[in-house]
Chains A and B, each alone.
Chain A
Amino acid sequence: MILKTKQLSRSFGGLKAINKVDFELPKNEIRGIIGPNGSGKSTFFNLVSGIYDSDPGSYIEFDGHDITYTPPHEIAGYGLSRTFQLLRLYQDMTVIDNVMSGYHTRVPYKFFDAVIGRKKIWDQERAIKEEMMELLSFVGLADYAELNASELSGGQRRLLVLARAIAMKPKLLMLDEPAAGLSPVNVDNLMKIIMQLKEKYGLTLIIIEHILKVVMDTCNSVTVFDHGQKIAEGTPAQVKDDNAVIEAYLGKKMDDEEMRKALAV
């Protein structure tokens, strides 16, 4: 198990955004998380990555470390990387700097070497830059390396955020709606890149996604959230036919007769 939560809860005022969620994720799996808006998917990500503190009684374990009350930068240091729904791109930095800042946890030199500006720093910086350029050309942004991130198009930004999250060579990558707002062609392209990166770096993935096609095609297993609770878990096929899921997503399952009645009123 690379990620494990027990009785994970978080409330905002009276609202229980996440309510006693037990979650387990084995290595090398691609887990999809689906659920209606406001069901706590993003809150779950924020709790795991340490952006929010969880309520007392919760327990989160990542790769053998208890990370329940660990600050986010230390969690990232253990090898957990994530993207954000609102991207949180470093707008005023160049594309290459964006990706290189994702490398932060792996930077090998010490601060004082940097102050003095020893030769090995510049050698290592160049090596990092080369590696990151490779990553950029892998996602297809190498030509834009020196431009500001704010000058990229929506689809390119999504790719850049992905590259930045992968720069730290994480063990677990959590993607928060990676394909939101992309055209169908771009969605396919993005998913292809994600799958290639998974193979290349041996990643474990958690993907929040509203495009069900993406989830059904790529994920090994799916967890469904509703009102802060886990209401279903299993393979995509199992989840698709789960009545609780259908109810949460689409409303109650009706046969034709019921539907006609409901519409006639």
Chain B
Amino acid sequence: MEKFKSIIRDYPFIAFIIAFVILAFVPSVVFTDVYQSHLATLIFVNIVVAAGLNIVKGYCGQVTVGHVGLFAVGSYTAGTLFLYLGLGFWATLPIAIIVTAFFGVAMGIPSFRLEGPYLALATLGGGEAIRLFIENGNFFRSTFGISDIPTPSLMGYNFDSPDRYYFISMTIMIIAVYFSFSILRSGVGRAFMSIREDPICAAAAGINVKKYKILAFILSAMFAGAAGAVYAHMPPGYIHPNNYTVIEMVTFLAMVVLGGLGHIWGGIIGAIVITIVYDLTRPLYKYQLLIFGLTIVLTILFMPKGLGGFIDRYFLEKRFKKKTGTEKTT
């Protein structure tokens, strides 16, 4: 066991390969109908977005409410590339990631000057502008949406149903989470956190604040772009501007906040919980926004570090007690 632990410590990707293998068996063992695979794909897409959002908001502390706009850019890059050039998933995915990264730069530039709620307003404007631009542009099929975006196929095998597409979304999710994990565990994650806590002190400690801020925006935009492309190609392959409204943004925020801002697994836990709750409360669609808004408020009030921080805290207190023999309760 000790040896296994040290191997994982040196080569964390092995843990992700194990996770991949386990998740690969989930559909055949656990799921009872196709809808569950579809829901799982939605969870994976949300995990990718939330992991990205956690980088820029949870770690770097830049309050962005325009992330859903970047998600839309990813989707519509994939959609329009298919519509006009007939490109498939394997071409649209990387292009969507790159295009969204550029939009991430644009979204991040206001963060040089603005902070907190002001930055939130600016990015909210950015995100909504993107959605309105799509909705009112014939180039993007405006309110008709883009339909029949093909599912990917690999070596003659077409991932054309939810239980097959599961494997695509799951793979992308594992890769994305692995990248976010290694970025945030390294010195880059620490630099992000110092900027969140105190940009002036971070600068005095040798961290190039502007560079790291824009880096956080680019990274999280790339996550959103990848998620957007996966979402666009998801069967039945239909995207519509209404899928990228502020309501979705609130849902994404609720995921990150509930999971734990600045917690390495925060977005992931939150994405799983919120997506399932979102699905279960579909009949109560009138109250969904209320539920998620309330979730955010209550989490911040009673569990400021989210579920992830809550669990961490439990183990930390245990360890601290063991080490020093004293209680530490704050």
Q: List residues of A whose CB falls within 8 A of some B CB.
A: 49-51, 71-73, 76-77, 81-82, 84, 88-93, 97, 100-105, 107, 109, 111, 114-117, 119, 121-123, 125, 128, 143, 146-147, 151, 164-165, 168
Contacts and interface: CB of A to CB of B under 8 A. Distances in A.
28 contacts: A49-B204, A50-B204, A72-B204, A73-B203, A73-B205, A73-B209, A84-B204, A88-B198, A89-B197, A90-B197, A90-B198, A93-B193, A100-B187, A100-B190, A102-B205, A104-B191, A107-B187, A109-B187, A114-B183, A114-B187, A117-B179, A117-B181, A121-B182, A122-B10, A125-B185, A147-B316, A151-B328, A164-B205
Interface residues of B, number: 40
Contact of A117 (B12, B187, B201, B323): B12
Nearest to B211: A73
A51 B323 contact: no
DSSP class of B's interface residues: helix, strand, loop or mixed? helix
Interface string B171-193: 00000001101110111101101
Nearest to A78: B206
Contact of B204 (A51, A103, A107): A51
Contact of B316 (A104, A109, A116, A146): A146
Contact of B187 (A89, A90, A91, A125): A125
Contacts of B207: 73, 101, 104
Nearest to B330: A151
Given A73-B209, A100-B190, A122-B12, A116 B204 contact: no
Nearest to A77: B206
A89 to B, nearest CB: 8
A128 B215 CA distance: 23
Contacts of A72: 203-204
Contact of B11 (A89, A92, A104, A119): A119
Contacts of B9: 122
Contacts of B203: 50-51, 71-73, 76
Contact of B188 (A50, A73, A91, A111): A111
B13 interface: yes
B202 interface: yes
Contacts of B193: 90, 92-93, 97, 101
Interface in B141-191: 178-179, 181-183, 185-188, 190-191
Contacts of B178: 117
Nearest to A45: B204
B186 A114 contact: yes
Given A111-B215, A122-B10, 17 more contacts: A50-B204, A51-B204, A71-B208, A73-B208, A90-B198, A90-B201, A97-B193, A104-B187, A104-B190, A104-B206, A114-B182, A114-B186, A114-B187, A117-B178, A121-B186, A122-B12, A165-B205
B187 A143 contact: no
